[in-house]
Amino acid sequence: MIHIRRNTEADVGPLVLLMTEAFSAQYKKKFTEDMGIRINADRIEGFKKAAAPHTHSIWLLAEDEQGQLVGGVRLLSPPLADVWIHGAAEAKGLVIAPTLQGQGLGRTLMNALKKEALLLGYQQICCRVRKEATDLRRYYETYGLLHDPQGDQTLPTVNLTGYVYNLEQSSQGFD
């Protein structure tokens, strides 16, 4: 049985460890070191910053029956949210323990994210995904997120594809 809860300060270390493991496993499969995607001190500092509790950032964390952290997803509110739709929240950092990937935990976390966003009064959730991350883009599309070209972004080192999920207008939820 998986339990979903909000993050606390005590979760920073375990969440950074989970992000590091999941990131390493995912990017070993998908990309080469030549693309500059690797775990280094700067990336770990970024994970620590992302994992820390913040007024405008909520991590919804998944724990297994033993209380082990096995997944999480982050909901960012303005002004931290990097969104192109006024008043939307941002989904960021969906992370699943490598041993549990493909077993439905992502769906559970996305459902929890949707419910949390609705409780906080949001009507849309935006997110950006690396253009080359085709599996993740398909995953989001499966659950009703729609490509929104207004959210596409070209940065010096990465091309991002923008997605939006209309919480109140969509009849297709994540369920």
- Whether 103 is covered by a domain: the verdict is yes
- Whether 175 is covered by a domain: the verdict is no
CATH number of the domain that residue 30 is part of: 3.40.630.30
68-93 tens-digit pLDDT? 999 999 999 988 899 999 989 999 98
Which residue matches tokens 């109140």? Answer: 168
Q: Can you read off the two tokens belonging to residue 104?
A: 């439905």
38-69 tens-digit pLDDT? 556 666 666 666 666 677 889 999 999 999 99
- Whether 171 is covered by a domain: the verdict is no
**Residue 83 contacts by C-beta under 8 Å, 6 or more apart in sequence?**
89, 90, 126, 151
100-154 tens-digit pLDDT? 988 999 989 999 999 999 999 999 999 999 898 888 899 889 888 999 999 999 9
pLDDT for 32: 46
Boundaries of domain holding 9 = 3-166
- Whether 172 is covered by a domain: the verdict is no
- Whether 173 is covered by a domain: the verdict is no
Q: How far apart are CA 8 and CA 153, in angstroms?
A: 32
- Whether 77 is covered by a domain: the verdict is yes
Count of domains observed in the chain: 1
- Whether 174 is covered by a domain: the verdict is no
Q: What's the pTM?
A: 0.81
Please say whether the beta carbons of 144 and 171 come within 8 A. Answer: no
Which residue matches tokens 């960021």? Answer: 92
pLDDT band at residue 171 using 50, 70 and 90 as cut-offs: very low
